[in-house]
Amino acid sequence: MYSRRDFSKLGLALAGGAIGLKGASEFVHPTQAKAGTKTFEVTKTDAEWKKILTPEQYYVLRKQGTESPGSSPLDANDATGTYLCAGCALALFSSETKFHSGTGWPSFWKPLDNAVSTEQDNSYLMTRTEVHCRRCGGHLGHVFDDGPKPTGLRYCMNGVALKFVPKATG
């Protein structure tokens, strides 16, 4: 037989667990709270972003999503040119710094000067460094310290967040 005391303990445990889960949700699910507090050169409402981006681009750039590994043709792209932000067309990476990381996402060892910004990302119970377009705040991917020389960095980018512009020949 259960006593009132047993039910009270169970109720308190369930309430405490619910409060703990709500507090931990910041660490499990990414939010736009951080990016929403910054001011960027290019700003649009959600409706305006949805008009100019595909649903997948919107999910990655504006909601901090991640595309499936191996889904972007830009991962295998070896052409000479520049990778731009799919949200605002800011030049982000040169093909000269691209390398094949084997991760399934386009990877670079260095961004162009004044192209990206970074901040700590504690989503999914991990601590990573998130990479944003410095002009529109769009989520591009993450940077890790397991890349090649000379920087030792791997900017692991979502291909859907990028547009490739080949170098003009002539």
Of the candidate ranges 30-39, 77-86, 111-120, the one whose mean pLDDT is the lowest: 30-39
What is the tally of helices (H) and strands (E) in the chain?
4, 9
- 3-10 long-range contacts, CB within 8 A, separation 24+: none
The predicted pLDDT at position 18 comes to: 45
- Flag whether pLDDT at 19 surpasses 50: no
- Tell me if the pTM is above 0.85: no
Of all residues in the chain, the percent with pLDDT exceeding 70 is 78
Distance of CA 15 to the CA centre of its chain: 33
Q: Domain spanning 31-166: which superfamily? A: Peptide methionine sulfoxide reductase. (2.170.150.20)
pLDDT (tens digit, 9 = 90+) per residue, 30-47? 444 444 567 899 999 999
State what percent of residues in the chain have pLDDT above 90: 74
List the end-to-end C-alpha distance of the chain, in Å, as a whole number. Answer: 87
Active-site annotation, residues = 156
